[in-house]
């Protein structure tokens, strides 16, 4: 039977399990909502939300280099215990998230960390572009809201599609690891550098320009 997106969303809201797991649960139980919740509980996925309030002060800081050293990431992910921090599953998870950051270039962990000034600047740019395209200003409200929400999702690590599995978000990936490892895990902070970022590079002169400059000398 077909499983509706609204049913998957509702189950996810109630259990905090990943979207793929919610869809699988509903598929396995022929769309029976209560049985799907039980199915998730047996897998331990719905317990992830209950762990979210626990203190996570242990964990790991890792570095990751990509593209021959042209991109670097420094990332901190916290766990509840040092035992889990030394676990291969957790360490692989940390490296996978660092690799995603290198590839997808988020600007922050979650949407609430985005500078409101940056949001307003982006909205102004999108509005100017829409007006230039001939859209009427009185109809721009919902259009701009949708575009801003999309932009914020692209900036937020947790909202981004996970590069190794675009069917899920990084938040889904995190939730699944919490359920599997059995502790609260928190992606706390990261920095990402790209070689030459922020440096204004001079464009190389064409052969004709070089000849002209020599002639003037």
Predicted local confidence at residue 75, as pLDDT: 97
Residue 207 pLDDT exceeds 60: no
**Average pLDDT of span 112-132:** 86
94/43: higher pLDDT: 94
Instruction: Report which of 177, 159, 155, 179 is spatially closest to residue 168, judged by C-alpha positions.
Output: 159
**Average pLDDT of span 105-116:** 91
Work out the mean pLDDT of the chain and round it to a whole number: 83
Residue 129 pLDDT exceeds 70: yes
Using one digit for the tens of pLDDT, what is the confidence trace for 85-95?
Answer: 999 999 999 99
Contacts of 76 (CB under 8 A, 6+ apart): 59, 60, 61, 188, 189, 190
What is the pTM (predicted TM-score) of this model? 0.66
Domains of the chain: 5-51 (1.10.8.10), 58-194 (3.30.479.20)
Q: At what angle do helices 170-181 and 88-104 cross, to 10 degrees?
A: 180
| Start-end of H helices in the chain | 5-15, 19-28, 33-43, 82-85, 88-104, 116-132, 140-155, 170-181, 207-216
**Average pLDDT of span 33-40:** 83
Using one digit for the tens of pLDDT, what is the confidence trace for 151-186?
Answer: 888 999 999 999 999 988 999 899 888 888 888 899
Residue 44 pLDDT exceeds 70: no
d(CA 7, CA 64): 38
Predicted local confidence at residue 213, as pLDDT: 55
Q: Are strands 71-79 and 161-162 parallel, antiparallel or unpaired?
A: unpaired
Predicted local confidence at residue 118, as pLDDT: 87
């Amino acid at each position: 039977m077909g499983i509706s997106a609204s049913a998957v969303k509702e189950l996810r809201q109630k259990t905090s399990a990943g979207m793929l797991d919610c869809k699988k649960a509903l598929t396995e139980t022929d769309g029976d909502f209560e049985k799907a919740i039980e199915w998730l509980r047996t897998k331990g996925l719905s317990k992830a939300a209950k762990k979210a309030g626990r203190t996570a002060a242990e964990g790991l800081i890792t570095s990751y280099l990509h593209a021959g050293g042209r991109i670097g990431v420094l990332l901190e992910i916290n766990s509840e215990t040092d035992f889990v921090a030394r676990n291969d599953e957790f360490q692989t998870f940390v490296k996978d998230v660092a690799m995603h950051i290198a590839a997808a270039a988020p600007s922050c962990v979650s949407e609430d960390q985005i500078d409101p000034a940056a949001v307003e600047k982006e909205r102004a740019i999108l509005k100017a572009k829409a007006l230039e395209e001939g859209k009427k200003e009185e109809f721009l409200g919902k259009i701009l809201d949708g575009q801003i929400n999309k932009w914020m999702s692209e900036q937020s690590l947790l909202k981004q599609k996970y590069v190794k599995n675009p069917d899920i978000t990084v938040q889904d990936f995190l939730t699944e690891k919490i359920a599997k490892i059995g502790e609260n895990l928190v992606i706390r902070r990261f920095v990402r550098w790209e070689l030459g970022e922020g440096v204004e590079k001079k464009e190389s002169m064409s052969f004709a320009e070089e000849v002209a400059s020599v002639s003037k000398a």
